[in-house]
Amino acid sequence: MERIYRIAGCFVAVLIAGLASADSEKLRFPLLVNKPITPAWAPLWDWEQPTRFEFQHRVVEHFTGVSGVGVCCAEGVTHDGHALHLCFAPGTPEWYVDYVSRLIFGDFLPAYDAGRRWNSTSYGSTGSYGNPVRLRWSFVPDGTLLPGISGGASPSNLFASMNSKFGGNTTLWQNQFVNSFARWQQVAGLRYERVNDDGAMFPNSSGSATAPRGDVRIGARDLDDAGGVLAFNYFPNTGDMVLDSSENWSSSIGTYRFLRNTVMHEHGHGMGLGHVIPTNSTKLMEPYLNTNFDGPQDDDIRGAHRLYGDPYEPNNGVSQATLIDMTNTNLFTLDFASLDRTADVDWYSLEIPSSRRLTITVTPIGATYSVGPQSGTATTINTQAIQNLQLELRNSSGAVIASAASNGVGLSEQIANFVVPPAGGTFYARVFSGTGSTDDVQRYRLTVQTTALPTGDVDGNGCVDDADLLQVLFAFGSNSPATDLNGDGTVDDADLLRVLFNFGSGC
Ligand SMILES: [Ca+2]
Ligand SMILES: [Ca+2]
Ligand SMILES: [Ca+2]
Ligand SMILES: [Ca+2]
Ligand SMILES: [Zn+2]
Ligand SMILES: [Zn+2]
Ligand SMILES: [Zn+2]
C-alpha cells in the first residue's frame, strides 16, 4: 500500500486542551474523537471518507462551534487501505497535525519523540519543521533564583560549584558545555552562539540579542543531593536548563562524558525531544543517563532532523545548495545528511575541475532497533529503510544530465563514472524522495569521487585518440559542452588543438 498524505495549512486550537502546557504527553489527544490515538481506530473514521467534505466540515463546525473548518486538512490512505480526510481545528499547531496524520495514515514510526520545535528565538521567528534554527545560550550569574524539582527558589551556584569541582579551571568546565552544543550543531540543523546573561528572572525570560541573555539559559543548584535527578530542562520556547550542583560533574572519564551527555540530553529536551524507550543504553534521550556512548545516537539525530533538518539545511534549491568543492580533493564524504521528510530536497553544488569522471553515491544510513516514546510502546524499526532515495546530477543551468533512481527503499543509488563535460565547473547533485517512501527521516551519506582524465579525452575512456578528435570535429562550431574543452562556449580551433597536442596521452 502506497502511503501518501498531504497537509495543507492550519489554524486555531479550539478542540485541544492544554496546548500551553509544557508537558507534550498531555497534548496527545485526537481532536474530533475522544479515543486514544492508535492506528487501530482509524477505520472508525469511515464517516470521514473523502466524498462529502463540505457537508462534513459543516457538521464539525456545528458540533464544535468552530468556524473555518475545512481550511486545514490532511488527506491520505490509512495503513489498512482507507482513503481518509482529516479535519483539524483552526489553529492546530503544525507539529500536532503532523503527528496525528502520521498515526492515522499508518506510517507513524514509534521512534524519537519529537514534540514542538522552537518557533521563536532571540533571532526572531524560525520557519517551519525541517528548517534549521539559531539559538543563543548563556550561563546565568550565581545568585539567579532557580526553581527546584518541586518548585521553590534557590540561588544558582553554577560558577561557584563548577569552579570548585574543576579546581578553579573555569575554561575547562565551560568547554564541556561548548563542546556539547558543538556536537548537536555538527549533527543537526542547529546553530549556537554563546552570550552573556544579565541574571533576569528564571526561566520565562525570553532570550535576547541585546539584553543580553540566551534563549537557552543554564544554572545549577542542589536538586536532590548526589544521584537521583541530575538535571531538568524546559521545552521550547523556554529551553532553560537546571543542573544538580550536588553531582560529580568533574568526572573526567571519557572526556567528561558524564557532564557532556547530561548537557546534550537536557538540551535534547531544550530543542523539543522527549524521552524514548526501551532503556537499554543505546539512545541519548532515554530517561536515564548513559555514558557508554558519546552524545546523540541514530534515534536522537533523527528526532533532531525531524524538527530542524540536517546540518546542511536549508539547501532546498539551487541558490541554497551546499558547496562541495572537489578542486583539491578526489574524495568527499558528507555525513549526517538526511531527507527529514518526503518533501525535503537536498541540493549540493559540486565544483569539478576540468577533465574528470565523476561518481556520486547516496547511501541510506540507519539500523534496526527497538524504540518508542516513554509511556508508549517500543517497536522494532529499520531506520535505514524509511525513504527511497533518488539522485540526479544537473548542469549549471539546472538540466538533468545523469540520474540514479532504480533502487528502492533502504538501498543506495549511484551515478558511476560519469564523464563530466571536459571544462569542468559547477554542477549540482540533487537528492530527493521516490515512491514507496515513508514520510519520516531518512539519514544518508553522500560520497563524491572524481578520477582525472587526460586533457583532450572527450569520451572519457582514458586515452586521447581518433574518437576524441572526431567528436570535436563533428561538433565544430557548436556550443556542445561535451566537446568544448576549454569551456569558452564554442567548439573551435582551441579545442581541436587541445586534442592534437595531447594526442596519444593515456593510451
Ligand atoms: Ca541529584
Ligand atoms: Ca536535508
Ligand atoms: Ca532509489
Ligand atoms: Ca572552445
Ligand atoms: Zn477539508
Ligand atoms: Zn474534513
Ligand atoms: Zn530527560
* Shortest-distance ligand to the CA of residue 264: 7
Same domain for 24 and 93: yes
C-alpha cell belonging to residue 376: 508508549
- pLDDT score, position 27: 27
Give the distance between the most distant pair of CA atoms in the chain: 86
The CATH code of the domain that includes 478 is 1.10.1330.10
Domain that holds residue 342: 318-452
Specify the 3-state DSSP secondary structure of 243.
Answer: strand
Same domain for 238 and 168: yes
* Shortest-distance ligand to the CA of residue 267: 7
Q: Strand order of the sheet with strand 216-221? A: 190-194, 133-139, 216-221, 241-244, 231-233
Same domain for 388 and 300: no
Residue 176 lies in a domain: yes
Same domain for 441 and 459: no
Same domain for 31 and 89: yes
Contact criterion met (CB below 8 Å) for 422 and 448:
no
What is d(CA 215, CA 208) in angstroms, rounded to the nearest whole number? 7
C-alpha of residue 244 to centroid of ligand 7, in Å: 13
Residue 111 lies in a domain: no
Strand 389-394 to 425-433 pairing: antiparallel
Same domain for 474 and 423: no
Specify the 3-state DSSP secondary structure of 91.
Answer: strand
Residue 110 lies in a domain: no
| Chain length of the chain | 507
What is d(CA 397, CA 426) in angstroms, rounded to the nearest whole number? 9
Residue 112 lies in a domain: no
Give how far Cα 25 sits from Cα of 21, 22, 87, 235, 464, Å: 9, 9, 21, 12, 67
Residue 225 lies in a domain: yes
C-alpha of residue 86 to centroid of ligand 6, in Å: 5
C-alpha cell belonging to residue 489: 562556449
Same domain for 369 and 289: no
Strand 241-244 to 216-221 pairing: parallel
C-alpha of residue 385 to centroid of ligand 3, in Å: 11
* Shortest-distance ligand to the CA of residue 234: 7
Same domain for 339 and 295: no
Residue 506 lies in a domain: yes
* Shortest-distance ligand to the CA of residue 498: 4
Residue type for 368, please? T
Angle at 336 between CA 275 and CA 113, to 5 degrees: 15
Residue 115 lies in a domain: no
Which residues make up the environment of ion ligand 2, defined by Cβ < 5 Å? 310, 344, 346
Task: Say how many domains are in the chain.
Answer: 4
| Nearest by Cα to 99 from 39, 56, 45 | 39
C-alpha cell belonging to residue 270: 531544550
Same domain for 448 and 328: yes
Using left for φ > 0, alpha for ψ between -120 and 50, and beta otherwise, residue 225 falls in left
Locus of grid cell 495543507: 8
Same domain for 285 and 147: yes
420, 436, 452 - which closes a domain: 452
DSSP string for 357-419: EEEEEEEEE--EEEEEETTS--EEEETTSSS-EEEEEE-TTS-EEEEE--S-TT--EEEEEEE
Angle at 54 between CA 48 and CA 57, to 5 degrees: 65
C-alpha of residue 326 to centroid of ligand 2, in Å: 21
C-alpha of residue 82 to centroid of ligand 7, in Å: 37
Same domain for 286 and 138: yes
Backbone angles phi, psi at 486, to 5 degrees: -95, 5
C-alpha of residue 248 to centroid of ligand 1, in Å: 10
248, 276, 308 - which closes a domain: 308
C-alpha of residue 69 to centroid of ligand 6, in Å: 7
Could you read off the pLDDT tens digit of each residue along the chain, which spans 507 residues?
A: 222 222 222 221 112 212 222 333 322 222 222 223 333 223 223 333 444 566 667 776 676 666 666 655 555 555 445 455 555 555 566 566 565 555 555 444 457 887 789 999 999 999 899 999 999 999 999 999 998 877 789 999 999 999 999 999 999 999 999 999 999 999 999 999 999 999 999 987 888 888 789 999 999 999 888 888 888 888 888 899 999 999 999 999 999 999 999 999 999 989 998 888 888 999 999 888 899 999 999 999 999 999 999 999 999 999 999 999 999 999 999 999 999 999 999 999 999 999 999 999 999 999 999 998 776 778 889 999 999 999 999 999 999 999 999 999 999 999 999 999 999 999 999 999 999 999 999 999 999 999 999 999 999 999 999 999 999 999 999 999 999 999 999 999 999 999 999 999 999
Same domain for 336 and 275: no
ipTM of the complex: 0.57
261, 285, 308 - which closes a domain: 308
C-alpha of residue 306 to centroid of ligand 2, in Å: 10
Which residues make up the environment of ion ligand 3, defined by Cβ < 5 Å? 388, 407, 413
The CATH code of the domain that includes 351 is 2.60.120.380
Give how far Cα 432 sits from Cα of 323, 445, 473, Å: 17, 13, 38
Residue 21 lies in a domain: yes
The CATH code of the domain that includes 262 is 3.40.390.10
C-alpha of residue 295 to centroid of ligand 7, in Å: 13
